[in-house]
Each structure stands twice: as C-alpha cells, then as structure tokens.
Chains A and B, each alone.
Chain A
Amino acid sequence: MAMVLLSVANVLWGSLDIPVRDVWSILCGEEVEGHPAWSIIVLQGRVPQMLTALLTGTALGTCGLLLQTAFRNPLAGPSILGIDSGANLGVAIVLLLLGGTASIGSLTLSGHFLVVVAAMVGALSIMALLMVLSRLLRSQVMLLITGVIISYVTGSIIQLLNYSATEQGVFSFVIWGMGNFASVGIERLPVFCTLSCLGLFLALLLIKPLDALLLGDRYAENLGIKIGRVRQMLLLVTGLLTATTTAFCGPISFIGLAVPHLARLSLGTSYHRVLMPATMLIGANLALICNLLSTLPRDGSIIPISVITPLIGAPVILHVILRVKN
C-alpha cells in the first residue's frame, strides 16, 4: 500500500513543478497544452526513474539480506564488504581506461552492456575472494575489516585510473559515483528490469536453504542442503544484483545493509520466507523515499542519492552495533 502511494508520489513530485492534474492527463496519454516538454519529463523521466528506484531498492535490500545470512554477519552488506567497490572498479576500467572520453549518457546499449558486464566481473571477483576468506577468518570483525581493505585497494586503483584518464572521463565517473536513479532512462529500462528481476527471482529460489544456513553450514548440510551449490548460487545472485544496480545507478550505500534490519525489527523474525518479501518491499519503499528527498531543492537541481542513503542507513547500523554489543 505504502509502495503504491510512494510510487504515485514519485511520479507527481519532481525537481520541476508540474500540476497534479496535468501529470494525470499525461499518464492518460494526453498532452498538456503549451507544455510539450512535460510529457517527456513525466513519461521518459519520472516514470522510469520511479521504476528504477523501486527495483534498485528491492535489489539492494535483497542483496544485503543474502549477504547477512551467507556470512552470518549482521553488518554485512554490498557496500561494507567492498562488493560494490569491485563493481566500481569494473566500471572505472571500462569508463576511464577503455571508454576514454565516452560519457555514460552517450554510451550505446552495447556499450552500457559492457559496463554491466565489467561491474559484474568486479563484483563476482570480490564475492569469490570474500567467500574464500570467510572460511579462513572465523571472526566477524575481521571479515568487515577485509571489506574495508578491499574498498581501499580498489579505491586506490580507481584513483590511479582517474589520474591518467581524460577530464571528460573523470567527470562522468564522478557523476556516476554520486548515484542517480535517473541514469537508467526509458531506453535502458528493459535491460535493467530484466537483469534485476532475474536476480530477484533467483533470490526467491534460495529461501529454504537460507533458513537452514541461519544455523550454520554444518547444521544446514545435515538438514539436507547442498551447501556448495547454494554458495555458488548466492555468489551469482549477489554479484548480479550488486553489479546491475551499481552499473546503472552508481554505488548506492547503506540501503543493502539497513533494509534487512528494518525488516527484522518490524516483523520480529529471521525466517526468509517472511523476511525476504518484507525486505524487498521495505527496500523499494526506502529507495522511493530517497528518490523523493533527492528532488527536495525544488529549483530544478537534485541531491545525489549517495548523499541521502547514509543519513538513513547510519542510525540503523549504530542500532545494530549496540544490539550486538549487548
């Protein structure tokens, strides 16, 4: 219900004031007299942006939930573990090294597909590395520190790439890095939807094994779960979801980490068959709220998403840390 309201609100409000009645008539297929640009703004701007925000929030929340269960760590999330910095690195290599002066906006579909593939390779490599390390590092804190180190290393490689890249390349990379639900646009929406829905569908298939994994690998295996195959699926799904959202919308931090906790707190359960749909819904809602907040200046400009998400995510993380400590 909240999601429907927020979706509508996302279409109604934008950085430009368009009367509600006119938005409605545009959605009904009519054109508002004297404002032909409004149709384009609503249909090719706000609607795809709303869908992008909705799917990104869903994908990142789900991703965070999968990671928290897989690593049995309440502070796991795509950004904290450095998985999205792996995707960043992939994108940086394509944009700064291979793409040269090509900006994201001017990339063709195949070019954009390349960005997704690069992000995917980056995210999957980091996930694989973390999976190997998580067997060696029993301590939860060590794994988080590893994630931070990975972020630093990829960060420094990206800096190096930035240093040697062209001004245009650096600019487009920085803009991309701020996070933006508008960057998908109507023409890339089908690809984005397909990839993220595929990832979400695969995540739903993992509900039962994830429940068993809550007890630990050995218990799960004893309950008839094929641990090796489940781990590979987790690797693939989290890689796909992180890579897709990161490649299209830029690195969006904290949503993946915070949303599963909001779901657990509000429902008081750890069962994935309840928790996963709830995480998806809350993730979608939270991203829609962030998208609304980003249009707050009302002067035609927008606040980057990556400015807003930490403000919402940080208090949730603090709450979790304090709970773990007790």
Chain B
Amino acid sequence: MIELQHLTVGYGDKAVLSDISQTLKAGQMVCLLGANGVGKSTILRTLAGFLPPLSGKVLINGRDLPSLSISERSKAVSVVLTERVEVPYMKVTDLVGMGRSPYTGFFGTLDKEDKDIVGEAIEMVGITALAERTIDTLSDGERQKALLAKALAQQTPIILLDEPTAFLDFHAKVSILRLMLRLVHETNKTIFLSTHDVEMAIQLSDALWIVQDGKIQAGTTESLTKSGTLQRFLQAEGISYDEEERTISIIT
C-alpha cells in the first residue's frame, strides 16, 4: 500500500502538483490519466524514488520512502519505464533475471531459487515460449510483457509503469492491461500505471486517478462518473461519453 500525505512533486524548487493526499491499495490496478505535461511522469518518478518529494510524505507500507536505502527500495517498488531497453544478445530470461539483482550476491549470479522465480514470472505473463529469444527479436507487446515479468521477478509489493501501453497495437494494449488486472487480483500487488488509453482504463481498472487543473481526483469509474469528474475530463468538442456502457465515441 502506498499512502501520499500532502505530497508535492516537482523538479528543484518548481512544484508540478501540490498537496496530493491519496492512497493506493493492495490488490488493485490503478490508472493515472491526464493530458501530456500535467505531471503524470513526475508523480511516478517520485513514487519510484527517482525524485525526492518537495514536501509531504510517501509512505510505503507505513515506511517513509526517502528513509529507505536504495537496496530496501529495490525490494519495495519495481518499475517499467518508457525508455527502450536494447541490449545485444540479451535473452528474455536474462532480462527477467535482472529483476533478481536486489537479492543476488556480489557477482549477480542466479541460484536455483532465483531461476525458479524467473521461470515463474515468465510463465505468469504468458511468454514461456519466448524465454530463450533475444529481446531485439520481440514485438513491442512481447517486450512489455518481458519487462513486466522482470518487475514480477523483483518480488515487490508495488509495480509502477510509465505508459506501458504506448506504442502497442490495439490487441497488445488489451492483452497487457487484462494481464496486469489478473495479476493484481491473483498476487495482491499494487499496480499503478499512467496511460493515454482512456477508454480501456475506465473499462478495466480498479480505480482511476485523474490529473486535471493541478489537482488529482481519485475513485472508481462509477464514483468519478457520479461526481461528474470523468465527464469534465472527457469534455471536449466532438467527444461523447456513454456513462452506462463506459464507452467513448466520436461525434461525426
């Protein structure tokens, strides 16, 4: 569980979003929605510990994030980032095996237990058949699944993903979102991801965080519809939102 208490995030002395007080529960997939530049990545970077909070607190299972050592943090939060991972000759098993780094010894050699965990993680995301392929031969969707498996192998209660569905084709988007939803329910982890695939997010996620006008509104699709937040977020010329069907259509 992550608790944000009066959290202000930003770079240097420039605050991007102020006074956020929200909670991310275990066993939920939460989608972070918002236009480009509103601070979605800034929140994710702060929760991952890449950026220090400007003020307020981030509590991970009751412990203040900045007080955790790098090693403790690596066992609490894992990430899937937007930057492309390109390593010559690296196989899927190798990439997923990197997720074991926080637990391995001086030279990073994997023991039997580590290898079992890696195998399990690969199986959970359903790419066992690709395990021995090098990552440069994978499609974008397969690569995202491999990175998700890396995060699973890291065995953290929290997984953060920055726009994991960007660059994916339609089928791959649906496939990875459904996969993550199934995973959080099976493993009781917290998955928090930013995305621009609004319709899929409102149909599939357990909860939504909507960033708009410097504020974050959180809740389920239902509660955010009831309060009118979703409608305000989607309100634009040519877009209509069907509250019953949770679908977005374009007015022609």
Contacts and interface: CB of A to CB of B under 8 A. Distances in A.
Contacts, number: 72
Contacts of A218: 48, 50, 79, 81, 83
A264 B88 contact: yes
A224 B71 contact: yes
Contacts of B83: 216, 218
A153 to B, nearest CB: 31
B74 A215 contact: no
A270 B86 CA distance: 11
Which of B70, B78, B154 is most buried by chain A, counting CB atoms within 10 A of its CB? B70
Interface string A75-88: 00000000000000
A273 B101 CA distance: 13
B85 A224 contact: no
User: Size class of B's contact patch?
Assistant: 20 to 34
Interface on chain A toward B: helix, strand, loop, or mixed SS? loop
A219 B109 contact: no
Interface stretch (A94-102, A110-118, A206-214): A206-214
Nearest to B79: A222
Contacts of A226: 70
Contacts of A216: 81, 83, 85
A268 interface: yes
A269 B70 contact: no
Given A208-B106, A221-B70, A268 B101 contact: no
Nearest to B106: A208
Contact of B108 (A208, A221, A270): A208
A223 interface: yes
Interface in B185-221: none
B101 A270 contact: no
A215 B87 contact: yes
Contact of B104 (A74, A208, A270): A208
A203 to B, nearest CB: 13
Given A214-B87, A264-B88, A273-B107, A222 B77 contact: yes
A212 B99 CA distance: 9
A223 to B, nearest CB: 4
B90 interface: yes
A225 B98 CA distance: 12
9 contacts: A208-B108, A215-B98, A219-B85, A221-B50, A223-B154, A225-B101, A264-B88, A271-B94, A273-B108
Top 10 closest A-B pairs, CB basis?
A224-B74, A208-B108, A223-B101, A224-B102, A224-B71, A214-B87, A222-B79, A270-B87, A270-B89, A268-B89
